Structure 1
């Protein structure tokens, strides 16, 4: 029986859940596909049949990635909050944030080298402007530096407030984005709640997705271990995802195809708007439910995606280097290939990324 005044019930897991790695791997794979198309061809060159359904499906990626981030925080770290080991775990998260911040800045240089002047790159490194393709890494780095300090507060909150928190933060974020001037600092606004002129992922505007991930992670800790409760958990996740997608359909009527095209064109992605987020988050929840349903068996069948999800940072580094340093800078491959060819490059890059991670892992094991 669930009480709405109940604090999180967080029994630690005895084994790693491969389905979480699989879901993260799917998010990264969709991201690689999207980046290959936009980075080598440009979204304006994509034919309509490529926008819907192919490029449309990649819009699940960002929400799935952030959702899994919250789930992983809950599963791996929430049970440790308040224990003698928590300060060490908190430090580990923050050091990971600094590592991600380093790679965010390094990959900013890689992304911008073929496109911008050294002064533009320097301005971006100093937060005077923003890049595009690597900005999700910037969100991840900043979040890892401050979220560990508020996780103990989350663990003290009753269930009703944890359920209400994503909605409340979402509303506050929208109000701030639309009505607060942030002391005339567009950069600060972009970092916190996003700005239409900058392709960023706001800490507050995306926090509801992280909170949703924390709630899902808590549910996984409590109910994934038993078959009966696992089924209810999966049905709940899939049902919530379907409800979000249904909400998108309702808002899209009568011209639903135009609404799908708008989502594919990133309308409402930055800053987030309701139709885009309903579609993206709904798809992310359904994918998460399917991954948990498949479990370890699905993780084995889709091994390349699981390998990518198990080492998401290395996967992100590798595909950005290949697309922007090798293809765009060294090979001058901007708008050289047709859309089907670029699509094929993206699919091949997913497998190549998994192979690179596996090779590095093998080398490290044999060089000990």
Structure 2
């Protein structure tokens, strides 16, 4: 055990693209698209109880899975190169990606707010004097892509005990910072550790998920291409995930109302800022879905090709569904409130397929330029 805790990351090069990661990312985006289609076109308050649970109860796996896969992908694609001579070039690539994501975040803020917000409100949001709702996860990634490249070389040399300690310390720091008022600067608090009045994703409060993703990414590199070790990893992730979900239900039963706890999670209670019950369920489900994607591997990725395609270009899929929902359906076609709940779900499903098709078409066009 002592030798394990002193281990620095063991990072063999990936033997080709790991389709299971694309499938996991695509699953997270698909759940997000369904959630955004319903909340953007119908409004979460208008969803019938039978739709909140189970549909929107299950979509709560999305955010945790998305951030986990963000860390996993960074580990697989970049962590093993941090000591190479070309690391500055790769680091610059990540920073340029941050700029690209930040640009589209700002564009999509306008798209999201255009139907029902005054220009002054849009400008305030663009200038970080307020936050949007549906596109704020993109703002989180834009900033995270600035600090993660600075962390990766240190992470690649750090023993396991220190990496685990950093994750635990950040969880503790986030919980402590939640008790502070930040001098009344709620926008800064939302940016760092979430705030209940804003739908922003705190950099410190969500950093532990990114770092857990780095740990899992290391394990994927070491285990995925060895059948025995891969199934050990799948079993571990699935077991931990199911234990966390079970803990959610046990704690809900102790409090006396499991149905109310499920409904609360479906309605995003405990998501901003992250609370124990929400994170037990969301992260537990995310780990279980990740395990299933790794178990299915290339076969599952091929069988669920639309999800895998969406996962290969998350930014393009995100842009597509936000533009379709908020610019086309809500603004141009004045569709807010015009859909029943089943119709909004159907729109979400079509948008998943549409995003996959858009990725295929744009790649085909790029290849023929």
Could you say which TM-score interval applies, normalised by the shorter chain?
Answer: over 0.9
Match of 1:198 in 2: 198
Query: Which secondary structure state, in structure 2, belongs to the residue aligned with residue 337 of structure 1?
Result: coil
Encode CA deviations 1:196-216: one digit per residue, 9 max, x unaligned.
111110000001110110010
Encode CA deviations 1:208-265: one digit per residue, 9 max, x unaligned.
1101100100101111111111111111111111111121112111311111100000
Partners of 1:328 and 1:3 lie apart in 2 by 54
Match of 1:305 in 2: 307
Question: Superposition pairs for residues 289-300 of structure 1, below 5 Å?
Answer: 289-300=291-302
Question: Superposition pairs for residues 281-360 of structure 1, below 5 Å?
Answer: 281-360=283-362
Question: How far is 1:114 from its partner?
Answer: 0.4
* More deviation, 115-124/250-259: 250-259
TM-score, normalised by the number of residues in structure 1: 0.98
Partners of 1:248 and 1:164 lie apart in 2 by 24
Partners of 1:292 and 1:37 lie apart in 2 by 29
Match of 2:216 in 1: 216
Is 2:75 the counterpart of 1:74? Answer: yes
Residue pair 2:194, 2:273 contacting (<8 A) in 1 also = yes
Partners of 2:199 and 2:19 lie apart in 1 by 32
Query: Which secondary structure state, in structure 2, belongs to the residue aligned with residue 199 of structure 1?
Result: coil
Match of 2:225 in 1: 225
Match of 1:245 in 2: 245
Partners of 1:149 and 1:163 lie apart in 2 by 18
Query: Which secondary structure state, in structure 1, belongs to the residue aligned with residue 115 of structure 2?
Result: coil
Query: Which secondary structure state, in structure 2, belongs to the residue aligned with residue 204 of structure 1?
Result: helix
Question: How far is 1:47 from its partner?
Answer: 0.4
Partners of 1:341 and 1:39 lie apart in 2 by 13
Encode CA deviations 1:116-143: one digit per residue, 9 max, x unaligned.
1000000000000000000000000000
Question: Superposition pairs for residues 1-368 of structure 1, below 5 Å?
Answer: 3-178=4-179, 180-253=180-253, 254-367=256-369
Residue pair 2:22, 2:312 contacting (<8 A) in 1 also = yes
Residue pair 2:80, 2:156 contacting (<8 A) in 1 also = no
Partners of 1:107 and 1:311 lie apart in 2 by 17
Residue pair 2:27, 2:307 contacting (<8 A) in 1 also = yes
Q: 1:183/1:88 Cα in 2 relative to 1: closer, same or farther (>3 Å)?
A: farther
Query: Which secondary structure state, in structure 1, belongs to the residue aligned with residue 203 of structure 2?
Result: coil
Question: How far is 1:183 from its partner?
Answer: 4.1
Partners of 2:315 and 2:305 lie apart in 1 by 17
Residue pair 2:15, 2:225 contacting (<8 A) in 1 also = no
Question: How far is 1:162 from its partner?
Answer: 1.5
Encode CA deviations 1:249-290: one digit per residue, 9 max, x unaligned.
121113111111000000000000000001000000000000
Structure 2 unaligned regions, length at least 5: none
Encode CA deviations 1:48-73: one digit per residue, 9 max, x unaligned.
11000011111000000000000001
* More deviation, 146-155/70-79: 146-155
Structure 1 unaligned regions, length at least 5: none
TM-score, normalised by the number of residues in structure 2: 0.97
Partners of 1:167 and 1:339 lie apart in 2 by 41
Partners of 2:163 and 2:354 lie apart in 1 by 40
Instruction: Say how many residue pairs are matched.
Output: 366
**RMSD over aligned Cα atoms:** 1.0
Query: Which secondary structure state, in structure 1, belongs to the residue aligned with residue 188 of structure 2?
Result: helix
